[in-house]
Structure 1
């Protein structure tokens, strides 16, 4: 059960009425901009009181300094069951504990145990060794787009399959099962799928991973899941970790490629720069990560009384962390609302910070560094096939992005 804080008053934030709820509405016609209220809250202070949908009075963190500090502070828990859910309009009153293998919803020492087993599998060197394979998969999908074109849904044809195939290869999913995996994964994140269809897809994916674990136990191959069979993880834990990595390695990167393409098509000068300057890829990826901040919001629960930014956060209080507001903080990034691929966006928080910083960030970087420049180089006349306002956005979801991105280009 949650530890409910006692009533108290401390600091100016307690004297003012709390924010009515988490701002989620993006400005009309600005699909890449965070809700404008977040900037207003950031100007009032990096940490403000906020009322949660269940009535809990907690906090909202919006400044770069405060978000970074909170993310690295072990006095705040990542356990789901200790948090209050901040998003409006849902029917969630209490969060269930993390499923086995879900690294984002657990604390030390359990988190440390999993992390130590996995960290060496996602090093910069090891991920860069995969570049040639990413390039091959990318080229194959560009060829397929050209054959199908000159009009496709970029999410279906390109943004989704590249990370899906790469995470399958990393985990050792047999080629015969990859099409099934991609189909179920697409159903899980699809805008048209019913809750029943999504549940069925999730169950099917779990079964695929459980079967895969047993196969790797019996006959290991050269892949991450086989490597983990030599650890002390049980079959249940292996299946949980495998499912977690499949989901984490697909949804975020697919949406960065999809939404990143949308952002570049909306900023033709930046797209031209990426196309004309091959050495710009590294900077471009970091800037897109900062600018879009698709994993936009997180939550932490205070395990004890903590003072941050002059405010006293009491044990049991939830703090909502706005990554998108932090990555647009003018105190850290000059002219933050402008997409500038030549910016050195080092230090952005798109992958989080501290012990929960994204484990697969180097793989995501490799995939984006290859996929985005290759797309704009192969199709220099690439453009939206529908008005920008008709692009279906993933509003109200933990990971922001586009459900579909209809594009076209000039044929021969």
Structure 2
């Protein structure tokens, strides 16, 4: 089973380090949580937990198990295991372990609950919940500005976007960025001697902030146009030092993969249009060309950053949705961690082939090395601009 956005590290600990006695677990009475909805999107199943506002992607057989729990109202884990084995037409210790790990996983996600889960005297459940909370690790991101309500003008702008076919969107989202990058490279090579940042950074910082926020707003507008929802939008520091904008589009898991791919490319599309605007101004307004030359270089860097597959970027989100690879980055680091610690993988990664695990490990190692290099480069740039 693969999880969607927001799945905590506590699920891994629950699946692999559960201390409860198996025989005791078999007698647990469980039921489906009352605030659960299951959707079918692109022939895949997504579970939504309304209380935690999180989504979890599950396989077809996992859906069968949850349907059985829902039909039974209250059912013992032992009966679920017997049912699962009968569906698979095989009884094995591996099947039992996978079912138990899946159910424990769903318990920590609050997708299913024990019959006595709300009883404060139940020490076993208290241990499970505390263990899950302790395993949660902070994300390497510091939110500085966050907006949860949006002006009606965003919805108005979204209606201005033409209703084009998917193939037409695909052509535009490839042709325009490629054209703008070519123009930008030609311009930067021609005016390479003009690129400087030491004396005009006080102009560039507000310009960069404006472009970053417009970038995120364009994601929001495209999401609204395609029927998506927005939870929040804002500005923060990735890895606590890299200024980036962000937008929470968690609810877009209910859209199709193609729509999510288009939304992911909306930001780089805006960046490419901004590059064309800057290049035009360089030619039309020579009096401020020094600022614009340097700003063009920064815009080019922002575009490359947003398409970098080694970072949690728009380009990575596009690849994940286009090729239906769920949480490539997150799962890669999970597999690397469990390989280094010699621990069994969580249930939703246990079916990965050896070749696939090796590819994920290679990706996570490469991404880690790149992040270390990139953070060093950013710190050096700060030192050069603000200290030297």
Give yes or no for TM over 0.5.
no
Higher relative contact order (CA 8 A, sep 6+): 1
Scaled by the length of structure 1, what TM-score is found? 0.26
Q: Larger C-alpha radius of gyration, 1 or 2?
A: 2
Structure having the larger proportion of residues in helix: 2
